[in-house]
Structure 1
Amino acid sequence: MPSRPMPEAGSVTTLELFFDLVFVFALTQVTATMADDLTSYGLLRGLLVIALLWWSWTAYAWLANLVRADEGVARVGMFAAMAAMFVLALCIPEAFDDAPGGLSGPVVVAVCYFVFRALHLLLFYAWSADDPGLRAQLLRFTPAMLAGTALLLAAAGADGAAQTWLWVAALVADYVGTYLGGAHGWRVRSPGHFAERHGLIVIVALGESIVAIGVGVAELPISWPIVAASILGLALAGALWWAYFDVSALVAEHALAAAGEQRRAGLARDAYSFLHLPLVAGIVLLALGLKKVLQYVGDTGHHSLSDPLKGAALAALVGGVVLYLLAHVAFQLRTTGRLNPARLTVALLLVPLAWLGGALPALATLALLTAIVIALVTFESLRYASDRDRARHDVRSGHSPAASGSASQ
């Protein structure tokens, strides 16, 4: 079964979408695990797992941009990788604290991570026989992956703070090692496919936030507060979708396509592989916050409507949106060279809400947060209406977008 290269005008394959279903499950597992340990320490560990999942996922985004995922040996490799990641996702509740009996959860996580990443490198190496620059880059990339796996295995034998710090060291080794290896040799064959692939994973994460709303009240009787909170949560997720897909994603894709081959690889690495991590992490934190809000307003046996969100739940709700907006600012700055002052200002203004929200009922905090984000995207749409319209149509028709304010939205 010979593999086929991804065409320059290629699009995401159905196998890649199927592949992403494993990550839907994994993100759901992370949200549920953080909800069970709703402390600052639990949030930190959840974010570490998200970073591990993200680095696993993005490796295959690069691979599938070079070779069609649904052809030849790549198809077999994708299914094998899905199996490894699915087992890893099953172990997420035991990633740090092993449950009694059975296999060691932390060890299984480390082994699955190694298998997943090793398959990626083997597939990449097999395809790069006629590309010495790419093969050399893979050899520079391998030590970072091996160091990360070794530190994860060491973490499996530790506990408490030492275990958490070993996880941090593993991720630093993998992320920083990759960055220090440079972008020379990496290839982005289809800019459209690469941008679409990352846009779809943002959709996956936003979808998980919708799932969190439903799961949060699945066993509770429907009530007007639940209806109100659900609509507000959906509106907030919709506003975050608008912030990414209305103009930002289109202009970033055009910038990636317009870049030269070597600059394109560095741009793809920075803007997508690195800066989409805080985008996705922010959405997962928001999903956790929405889940807790729905529990507060729906479970009247344990909470009243006047109860405020506090601690880690409030930090997740507000902090998730702040992280998402700050990641947008960095993403746009890297792709367009322009700073978005509106989003930066709103993100900074929201920081005090993580404390002030503790004095408001949970539903009021959600309503205020939703109103602020909707006001932001409304302001941008009206303030840059003509430039926004021109950018959207010019990018979709293949022309250069207007070098104006809306291009950095």
Structure 2
Amino acid sequence: MPGSPRTRMMPVAEDASVTQLELFFDLVIVFAFTMVTDFAAHETTAVNLLRALLILTMLWWAWIGYSWLGNVIKADEGIARVAMFVAMGAVFLIALTIPEAFHDLPGGWYGPLVFVIAYLAVRFIHLSVFWLASTHDAQLRRQVIRWAAGSLSVASVLLVIGAMTSGTAQLALWLAALAWDMGWTFFAGNEWRLYSASHFAERYGLIVIIALGESIVEIGVGVAGLPISWSITVGSMLGLAVAGLLWWAYFDVAALVVEHAMHRAQGERRIQIARNCYTFWHYPMIAGIVAMALGLKKVLSYVGGAQGHSLSDALHGIPLFALYGGVIAYLIALVGFRHYATGKLLTPRVVAVVALLALIPVAWVLPALAALGVLCAVLLALIVFEVVVYAQPRDAIRHGLN
């Protein structure tokens, strides 16, 4: 890589691990995820949920660029370190402007435009560093040019125009920008570089862990200031158990299997696994966790008696669909994640998805705490079944016997 010792970029080694700076960056991103949860919880309507999903998708799309960049050059060396800190500041600004991304608040700057400018700053910093990193790599330079020419050029215009409008027009323009941006990735080619499969898999695993951790934080936020009681204790333990079971569903075997498949893959196939299994299939996992956090927050406020609710109140509408739908999206993503890499369909997880869909009408009439208990029971049954029935292959995968 070119440059003086202080500014040069250093390539990532095959056995590299995620740097502390990348983890720091990810913590700021996940803080923005929590702001999305608060944004969705502020107004539980279908339109606002769509807005929240759009903002979450924009954050995800900004983050994945840095996951690829950090697999080409070391994020904590030379000019890349400076770029990461500047991008981190822009992400923090995005998070702060989420509450007024669609409705400008009186006083101060115009919120929607600040949101878009901060988002585009994150994207263009990434593009600039990738451009410098490809100086002596003709293949990577071609890929960066193709991707940027068709992606950011169109999306940036739509985002800025959308920020100057409001209501349905703003939402439609931003949706169009994001759909174009993400869709173009499939047409931009497979000439990206992936120097370390283990680093790439670890980076995505960490963002899942941090997001699950933030869902637990939402449990605490949901009961902050309320007197401790048996219902809050049970609800908190059930919420923690759900998060733990989702962790198990990802990290026990699935993450290892797909990482091994990516290690074995060569050429374009490795890039396709990285793009489809991680960049795309991980998005519904993160979206599912954020939605589940919204549901957990509402359940704990119900069982704690906040805002006039009682222990017998059922969880209706958006909060219920967020709780169950978030877990369903997470499980579907795990099925697609593993199927694309290995060709194997995880039937028990498909059955669990069908069972949860069928149980939504039941949960609709149950007290909120009971609805959370049912969700936890289905996940526990799934994990116990997989551990018992797939004991031998599970042991072989986890302990390197295959």
**Global fold match (TM > 0.5):** yes
Query: In the alignment, which of 191, 196, 206 is matched to residue 190 of structure 1?
Result: 196
Paired letter, 1:12: V
1:182 is displaced (CA, Å) by 2.1
2:263 aligned with 1:257? yes
Aligned counterpart, 1:149? 156
Larger deviation: 185-194 or 94-103? 94-103
CA deviation vs aligned residue, 1:15-43 (integer Å, no higher than 9, x gap):
10111121121011001111101112121
Query: In the alignment, which of 336, 358, 363 is matched to residue 357 of structure 1?
Result: 363
The answer to whether the Cα contact below 8 Å between 2:299 and 2:368 also exists between their aligned partners in 1 is yes
Map residues 342-353 of structure 1 onto 2, 5 A cutoff.
342-353=348-359
Query: In the alignment, which of 282, 301, 304 is matched to residue 298 of structure 1?
Result: 304
Query: Which whole-Å CA distance do the structure 1 matches of 2:305 and 2:184 have between them?
Result: 47
Aligned counterpart, 1:340? 346
Query: In the alignment, which of 365, 381, 391 is matched to residue 387 of structure 2?
Result: 381
State the SS of the aligned residue for 1:352. helix
Query: Which whole-Å CA distance do the structure 1 matches of 2:253 and 2:90 have between them?
Result: 36
Paired letter, 2:181: D
Query: Which whole-Å CA distance do the structure 2 matches of 1:33 and 1:282 have between them?
Result: 16
Query: Which whole-Å CA distance do the structure 2 matches of 1:310 and 1:91 have between them?
Result: 29
Query: In the alignment, which of 158, 161, 166 is matched to residue 159 of structure 1?
Result: 166
Aligned counterpart, 1:372? 378
Query: In the alignment, which of 93, 96, 102 is matched to residue 90 of structure 1?
Result: 96
Map residues 2-401 of structure 1 onto 2, 5 A cutoff.
2-142=8-148, 143-183=150-190, 185-299=191-305, 302-394=308-400, 401=402
Query: Which whole-Å CA distance do the structure 2 matches of 1:301 and 1:243 have between them?
Result: 34
Query: Which whole-Å CA distance do the structure 2 matches of 1:303 and 1:198 have between them?
Result: 38
Runs of 4+ in 1 over 4 A off after TM superposition: none
Paired letter, 2:168: A
1:353 is displaced (CA, Å) by 2.8
The answer to whether the Cα contact below 8 Å between 2:305 and 2:311 also exists between their aligned partners in 1 is no
Paired letter, 2:253: V
Query: Which whole-Å CA distance do the structure 2 matches of 1:82 and 1:258 have between them?
Result: 33
Query: Which whole-Å CA distance do the structure 1 matches of 2:167 and 2:366 have between them?
Result: 34
CA deviation vs aligned residue, 1:314-338 (integer Å, no higher than 9, x gap):
0100000000000111101111111
1:70 is displaced (CA, Å) by 0.5
Paired letter, 2:131: Y
Query: Which whole-Å CA distance do the structure 2 matches of 1:207 and 1:129 have between them?
Result: 39
State the SS of the aligned residue for 1:309. coil
TM-score (norm 2): 0.96
**What is the aligned residue count?**
395
Q: Identify unmatched segments of 5+ residues in structure 1.
A: 402-409
Aligned counterpart, 1:406? none
CA deviation vs aligned residue, 1:360-395 (integer Å, no higher than 9, x gap):
00000000000100110110011001110011111x
Query: Which whole-Å CA distance do the structure 2 matches of 1:372 and 1:37 have between them?
Result: 29
State the SS of the aligned residue for 2:71. helix
Q: Identify unmatched segments of 5+ residues in structure 2.
A: 1-5
1:301 is displaced (CA, Å) by 6.0
The answer to whether the Cα contact below 8 Å between 1:297 and 1:363 also exists between their aligned partners in 2 is yes
The answer to whether the Cα contact below 8 Å between 1:188 and 1:261 also exists between their aligned partners in 2 is no
The answer to whether the Cα contact below 8 Å between 1:187 and 1:261 also exists between their aligned partners in 2 is no
Decide whether aligned partners of structure 1 residues 52 and 189 sit closer, same or farther in structure 2, where only a CA change above 3 A counts: same
The answer to whether the Cα contact below 8 Å between 2:197 and 2:263 also exists between their aligned partners in 1 is yes
Larger deviation: 157-166 or 244-253? 157-166
The answer to whether the Cα contact below 8 Å between 1:329 and 1:340 also exists between their aligned partners in 2 is yes
1:354 is displaced (CA, Å) by 2.9
Paired letter, 2:52: G
The alignment's C-alpha RMSD in Å is 1.1
CA deviation vs aligned residue, 1:158-206 (integer Å, no higher than 9, x gap):
22222211121011011001121121x2011000000000000000110
The answer to whether the Cα contact below 8 Å between 1:34 and 1:43 also exists between their aligned partners in 2 is yes
TM-score (norm 1): 0.95
The answer to whether the Cα contact below 8 Å between 1:206 and 1:241 also exists between their aligned partners in 2 is yes
